[in-house]
Structure 1
Amino acid sequence: MASHGYDLSNCDREPIHKLGSIQGFGALIALNADWIVAHRSANLAAILQRPAVPAVGGRLGEHFAPAAMKLLRQAAGQLDEDQGIAEAGGGAVTDLVSRLFGVDLLGNGVLFDIALHRSGRLLIVELEPAEGGGELQYPGGLRPLMQRLGRHRDITDLCAEAARQMKVLLGFDRVMVYRFHQDGSGEVIAEAREQRLEPFLNLRYPHTDIPAQARALYLRSLLRIIADVNATPVPIEPEHAIDGGAVDLSLSTLRAVSPIHIEYLKNMGVTASLSISIVVGGKLWGLFACHHYAPRTLPYSLRTTAELFAQLFALQLELAIASGGSRMAERGRQLHDRLMTRLVGGTALVENLSTLDGVIGQVIPHDGSSAFVDGAYSCRGAAPTEAEFLAMVPALNAASSSQIIHSDALATMLPPAAAFTDRACGALVIPVSRRPRDYVVFWRRELPQVVTWAGRPEKVMEYGPNGPRLSPRRSFEAWKQSVEGHSAPWTPEELTVAEHVRVTLLEVILRMSDEQMQERARAAEQQELLIAELNHRVRNILTLIRGLVSQSRSEGTSIEQFADLVGGRIRALALAHDNITREHWSPASLHELIETEAEAYLGGKTDRITVTGPDVLVAPEAYTVLALVLHEMMTNSAKYGSLCDSAGRLAIDTRLDNVGDLQIGWRESGGPPVRPPQRRGFGSTIIERSIPYELRGAAELRHRLSGVEADFTIPGRFVQPGPSRPDMPPKDEPRLQERKGADGASPIDHVLVVEDSMIIAMDAEEALFGLGIPTVSVVSSVAGAKALLDNDRPDLALLDFNLGAESSEPIARALDEMGVPYWFVTGYGDAIAQLGETAARGILQKPYSTADLAGILEQMRGG
């Protein structure tokens, strides 16, 4: 009877979707493209209640009423249309079913419920006598059921309530919520039953009870009914087509039942059953398993209602799971803060295990811990010795550098772990570096477990029509099995927290490793950093210049005018760069900047511009921004304002307010009457947006009739008191420059650009618009990015790694959690790969082009 070494995949190979028969509570017709009957069930005449029925090879329209045929053709056409839409959208959805309720097929007033679906080249039409007037009766009834579900946030309570409501809806003797485990086995986690029945709650079922091909069908066809296990299956005529193939009934409601499963249900004493899939995130999470101990055929409309209830429940369940994940993510962030607070002072991590245990043990229970960092090993509690741990290191190193390894029976995964199973069986291995591999490991002792199975999980080998197979179990009394060599399993919630721990410890390791480097290594790295910094600055300058050229292209009406326009802006940047590099990239004089810009425009005319107020020194990162703003203001004044004739004057006042911010006042007078511009050019954008965007300051421009006025605020962190200098005399009249506006492109996707240089950001924005992206969100800081991500989810992100005094790594971690792909943008090149473990798709080096962005979009769409 029982034998050893048999193949458990025999059940998986049973052709349960091609059994050649159906259940007798309905009839089936398979039609070819010409609506000629290719197959039919043998009970068609009995279901239609008339002797003359469509024969194989006959036309369906000769037997069904014209109105009914019209409905069938419309439903079939809708199937094909929906399939076409799915394929045009890049999908491959084929599991579509169209349902009709209360159709008068024969024109005699007898109503039928009908389901249509495609099976290869055949159109499958299934029909059942309609009950209850042939109307779908769920809208009013589902609302109170879903309201009751909405009261629960805990997954266990939610499933228990769903089982109760499904039993009320369907009237089955037993309704269970059956959840699949990772190994394919399942467990009854909720149950509603008649009092006379024994409970199945918390019973486990081996994966062979629902074999792989059955689970695949549950994912394709959400509802499966068995009306009577004692009923004789109705054959399909003919069973095979001319080419020898049997009709594929994967999506059939009436599909007959595997003899093995019939025997299984009979052994349980079940006469009728209904299974409805619970699909979460596109995967089969579990089932509603309904048992009845007498024959029971549910009306098609009620089955449809139950299927809809199951889908709504799955959405509620997904929300509950996501809510639990959010809570764990918050706990992970809190854990990060506590660890970063406590692991300070430069002490090596191997010496900080006690601190680590105290903090992490509150969230992830464990019996011991180990740290292996820079070749040094330390352990606490139930843990392997150094020699035992080193024996596993080669196998651990072969795994992915960013992958957490977890097991409740480590010896089954890594044989060397068998040497210390008396102390630790389970392990949570967290890699905290790339080269050399460093690890922090949390250990759990053996936890002898008792698993309660629904009968013995073994099945008996027998020979059936399909060759050797496993017979279903004949006893379903609870059978307890002791499991040794296992610890308590690591829960998904604990693994989520462990990922936060990995990122935190990675930061700690990098910081501590930095502090312990030898002087020679530090000097070498400093040299590489200086080279990378030079490369970064050169790339930024090139990108900035290219952005200026691109943004200015529509403002010149001739080559000469365009050259003057771009040349003036680049010259302003070059002069500012000269001023700040003259003092080795130190803060430079604001009055000198104004004087240089005015001299370049006005020559020797010194009676036109007056600069009053104390001079200040402006930090390099703000100096180039001010240079562009002052250049555009001088240009506009010379073209339209007070400096465009011989009578106008310009007064510039500088002062530090009581909080240390620099206030710059610009007042024009005596020139021609001022009119507000009719269009907004790139120059106006530089004036009004540069300082707020890049410096978090303020800019206000007013076009008064008597002359242009402007007020600028530069935050105090960018300025410091400067040398005393006499007020600057007025200067001369500038050359005239113009600009025309640029048009955007039509939208298709949403891209987030994080860039602290406004010019580069605007250039990237315009390039993306030109590539057909509809929505481009541009921010310049970590706080701005996080605020956007709290309310919106982009499809792609481009992250400038260096954002002034901060980096975009926190944004990268947030995008990792959201599953949003992103690229780093930097002038440092591949050196960024050493800064941390992220899921970045790649590194985009500055200066980048529209072609580079197009390549990223093409890669995204192709992947």
Structure 2
Amino acid sequence: MNPALERALQDCANEPIHLSGAIQPHGYLISCQLPDWTIRHVSANVETLTGSPPEDMLRHSLREFLTDDLIQAIAETIGFGEPGSPPQRAAVGNIGPMANLCDISVHVADGLVHIEVEPQPRSAGERSPTVVAQTMIARVAGSDDIHDFNQRVAEQVRLLTGYDRVMVYRFRPDDSGEVVAESRDAALPAYLGLRYPQSDIPVQARMLYLRNRIRVIPDATYVPVPILPDRDSHGGPLDLAQMALRSVSPVHLEYLANMGVVASMSISIVSGGRLWGLIACHHRTPRRVPPGVRAAADMFGLFVSMRIASREQQDAVLLEERARTARDTLALRLDNASDPRLALQSELDLLNRAVESDGVGLVQAGHWYSAGRAPDETRLPVLLDWLRRSNTGTGAVSTERTSDWNPSSPEDADGIAGVLALPLDLAREEWLFFFRCEQVEEVRWAGRPDAPFLIDHDGNKIGPRASFSAWHETVRGSSAPWSDADRRTAGRLYAMLRERYRRGALHAELGDMGARRVRLDVREQRTRLLQLSELLEGLVHVSPQEATELSERINKLERDLQSMIGTTNVANAD
């Protein structure tokens, strides 16, 4: 990677966007300390709301500026919430000498009660957010097809908010993003199917999307309003991660400007505790979204998140059921085999169903066995060399890229890209492999993914990229990634096989011990027989009765010896 680009990406990833020290100008911030509601922080524009300058509010009680009924509503709201939770709507009421109608949200963080206030235009009223969200949910709930569901989601959010463009944006396993559904004004170019590089939404931004489900920028050309004072009681910058009014990164504002976007909103889609994607909304002119509409969008977003999480869970359950059926059948067959280790060679087709893959391979005693789409035996040294470089000593080793396991000639890999390997016996270099075929993709990027920033001749970043024109790329050498569910399935299979492997080794060891015991008994009986023969030769005078008894003993020893010899041959054959 270009060093200047690498440095720019690192700078972007390190930007403390939650410590901006300012809010957007369409609202006001008052932060108080309980139990006496002492004001510790205010936004610099607060005089417009309360009629009192910041210096006359700091260290005074909130009761001097808000009515008791509003303070009571705020207290009840924080009583139901948890510290660190996203802001919750507390009340709608009149504030200040002009009795401005305001929407009030509140949350608790770092020992302070943070009150965010947004003036609202006087109107005939708005529909209940709950009723609006229920109507939206009813319109999408009947869709079982994921593509149709995503499209309906985009259409419902656009109908609710009135934005020029609404997209469902899904994160891929490599953290790049792809527009999987879109509802837009016909005058706008289509973004459906476009992919965006990971750097467009860096790690710290994705973390904030997890913590704060709704993010709104009514006018991206705004001038930030500082918070006074800008430091907390410990002298550190005020953490604004949970604030809906938080001023966003200047880089993001420039990014929106380069796209021709003036107003935006995002709704987080969360599945299994991870950020699955976003419902991203864009508008070409400033656009306010009332808190009631945002509340309805938030509830709708929660439903979308639960629906997607449920679908992913159902898919995972179906895959696990198929894998468990194959695993249980395999365990039964190995349990009935005289040597489970050797029996594994004839069960490759069943193994191929135990983990979702295109092919399977097994190396035992230096020999290669395979089924389905798998490299031929000439690739075994390359695979083992990759394992020696990658294996940490325990557990599975995996990759999705041909260049990892076959770096010298990735173009000559028999169409195989993904490999997941399970160690069966590290001392003997015995491994079980699962393979996935290469997926050739024609990707349409929104601008060049290798040029996410504008960089000057000195290598300094001067801003985000200005072009979002579709840029085509053919991606080769990669397979579908091994998911966490794949690794869990492989882990269960590994545990079962290791148990059978140990059982087979114990069976072989006991067989060897039995064979050695038989051989020792044969030698002992042979010695006794020779001793009797020598004794018989040394006897001159024996009675007929004694001769008969000796003869019977020798005959018995001969029969026992013959029987032991037969047992030894059988043991060696096993």
Q: Same fold (TM over 0.5)?
A: yes
Quote how far apart the aligned CAs of 1:454 are.
1.2
Q: Equivalences for 1:684-703 in 2 at 5 Å?
A: none
Counterpart AA for 1:471: G
- For 2:493 and 2:145, locate their aligned partners in 1 and report how far apart those are by CA, in whole Å: 25
Q: Deviations over 1:487-541 (max 9, x none)?
A: 444466655665565466557656765676672246799xxxxxxxxxxxxxxxx
SS of 2:309 mapped into structure 1: helix
Quick check: 1:37–1:56 contact (8 Å CA) kept in 2?
yes
Partner of 2:441: 449
Give the Cα separation in 2 of the matches to 1:29 and 1:62.
13
Counterpart-to-counterpart distance in 1, 2:3 and 2:180: 31
| Alignment partner of 1:165 is 2:166 | no
Residue in structure 1 matching 2:196, options 194, 202, 205 = 205
Q: Following the alignment from structure 1 to structure 2, what is the Cα–Cα distance between the partners of residues 32 and 462?
A: 45
Q: Please report how far the alpha carbon of residue 179 of structure 1 lies from its aligned counterpart in structure 2 after TM superposition.
A: 2.0
The 3 A distance-change label for structure 1 pair 332 and 124 is: same
- Cα separation, 1, equivalents of 2:212 and 2:281: 16
State which of 92, 112, 115 in structure 2 corresponds to 1:125: 115
Deviation at 1:331, TM superposition (A): 1.6
Match 1:331 to one of 318, 322, 332: 322
1:55 aligns with 2:57: yes
> How far has the Cα of 1:271 moved from its partner?
1.2
Per-residue deviation, 1:339:
4.7
How far apart are residue 245 of structure 1 and its match?
Answer: 3.6
Alpha carbons of structure 1 residues 135 and 70: separation in structure 2 relative to 1, 3 Å: farther
Letter of the 1:400 counterpart: T
SS at match of 2:57: coil
1:373 maps to which residue?
Answer: 364
**1:135 to partner: Cα distance:** 6.7
Residues 32 and 312 of structure 1, relative CA distance in 2, 3 Å threshold? same
| Superposition pairs of residues 10-409 of structure 1, within 5 angstroms | 10-33=11-34, 34-47=36-49, 50=51, 55-76=57-78, 78=79, 82-83=81-82, 94-106=84-96, 110-130=100-120, 137-240=128-231, 244-336=235-327, 339=330, 356-357=348-349, 360=352, 364-366=356-358, 369-379=360-370, 381-385=374-378, 386-395=380-389, 398-401=392-395, 403=396, 405-409=397-401
1:480 aligned onto 2:472 = yes
> Cα 1:447–1:419, aligned 2, differ >3 Å: closer, same or farther?
closer
The corresponding residue for 1:9 is 10
Please give the per-residue CA displacement for 1:34-65, whole angstroms capped at 9, x wherever unaligned. 434333223323345x5778534444322333
Structure 1 unmatched ranges of 5 or more: 84-92, 526-863
**Identity of paired residues, percent?**
33
- Structure 2 CA distance for aligned equivalents of residues 289 and 374 of structure 1: 55
Secondary structure, counterpart of 2:11 in structure 1: helix
Query: What's the CA shift for 1:200?
Result: 1.8
Change (3 A) 1:125 1:393: closer
SS, match of residue 246 in structure 2 = coil
Report if aligned partners of 2:382, 2:405 keep a CA contact under 8 Å in 1: no
- Measured in 1, the distance between the counterparts of 2:254 and 2:514 equals 74
Question: Are 2:439 and 2:479, in contact at CA under 8 Å, matched by a contact in 1?
Answer: yes
* CA pair 341-455 structure 1, distance change in 2 beyond 3 A: same
Partner of 1:536: none
What does 1:595-744 correspond to in 2, within 5 Å? none
Amino acid at match of 1:63: F
Indicate conservation of the 8 Å contact 1:134/1:301, yes or no: no
SS at match of 1:391: helix
RCO higher in structure (CA 8 A, sep ≥6) = 2
TM-score relative to the length of structure 1: 0.52
Q: Do the aligned partners of residues 516 and 161 (structure 1) sit closer, same or farther apart at CA in structure 2, a change above 3 Å counting? A: farther
Contact kept in structure 2, 1:227 and 1:272, CA below 8 Å: yes
Q: In the alignment, residue 469 of structure 2 is paired with which amino acid?
A: E
The residue aligned with 1:695 is none
Distance 1:139 1:443, change over 3 A: closer
Three-state SS of the structure 2 residue aligned to 1:425 is: strand
Secondary structure in structure 2 of the residue aligned to 1:17: helix
Asked whether the 8 Å contact 2:173–2:481 carries over to 1, the reply is no
> Cα gap change, 1:153/1:419 in structure 2, threshold over 3 Å: closer, same or farther?
closer
Shift of 1:469: 4.3
Are the equivalent residues in 1 in contact too, given 2:116–2:245 (CA < 8 A)?
yes
Instruction: Write the distance in 1 (CA, Å) between the matches of 2:99 and 2:5.
Output: 60
RMSD over equivalenced CA pairs, Å: 3.8
Q: Secondary structure at the match of 1:200?
A: coil
Task: Give the SS at the match of 1:479.
Answer: strand
Task: Indicate conservation of the 8 Å contact 2:41/2:228, yes or no.
Answer: yes
Pairwise CA distance, 1:211: 1.2
Kept after mapping to 2: 8 A contact 1:408/1:487: yes
Matches of 1:16 and 1:72 in 2, distance apart? 27
Q: In 2, Cα distance between the equivalents of 1:523 and 1:435? A: 25
Letter in 1 for 2:399: S
Conserved? CA contact 1:384–1:423, under 8 Å: no
| AA of the residue aligned to 2:478 | H
Q: State the shift of 1:184 in Å.
A: 2.5
TM-superposition CA deviations, 1:368-389 (whole Å, max 9, x none): 5421135543346533524334
Q: Which amino acid aligns with 1:97?
A: P
Paired amino acid for 1:17: H
- Whether the aligned pair in 1 keeps the contact of 2:218 and 2:286 (CA below 8 Å) is yes
In 2: Cα distance, 1:269 partner to 1:419 partner:
42
For 2:46 and 2:273, locate their aligned partners in 1 and report how far apart those are by CA, in whole Å: 36
Taking a change above 3 Å as real, the CA distance of residues 489 and 275 of structure 1, as seen in their structure-2 partners, is same
Cα distance between partner residues in 2 of 1:439 and 1:508: 14
Match of 1:845 in 2: none
Number of residue pairs aligned between Structure 1 and Structure 2: 506
Deviation per residue, 1:544-564 (Å, 9 max, x gap): xxxxxxxxxxxxxxxxxxxxx
CA–CA distance in 1 between the matches of 2:3 and 2:432? 46
Alignment CA distance shift 1:112-1:241 (3 Å) = same
Alpha-carbon distance between aligned partners in 2 of 1:423 and 1:325, rounded to the nearest angstrom: 27
Identify unmatched segments of 5+ residues in structure 2: 518-574
What is the CA–CA distance in structure 2 between the aligned matches of 1:263 and 1:397, rounded to whole Å?
A: 44
1:519 and 2:520 correspond: no
Letter in 2 for 1:307: D
Inter-CA distance 154–439: structure 2 relative to 1 (3 Å threshold):
farther
| Deviation (angstroms), 1:303 | 0.6
Can you list the C-alpha shifts for 1:285-344, whole angstroms capped at 9, x where unaligned? 221111122211111111111111111221122111111111112222333356568877
| 1:524–1:420 distance in 2 versus 1, CA, 3 Å | farther
Change in 2 beyond 3 A, CA 1:353/1:475: farther
Letter in 1 for 2:67: A
Does the Cα contact within 8 Å between 2:445 and 2:472 map onto a contact in 1?
yes
CA 153–370 in structure 1, closer or farther in 2 if over 3 Å, else same: same
Which amino acid is the alignment partner of residue 269 of structure 1? Answer: G
Q: Which amino acid aligns with 1:394?
A: R
Distance 2:516 2:226 in 1: 81
Q: Secondary structure at the match of 1:101?
A: strand
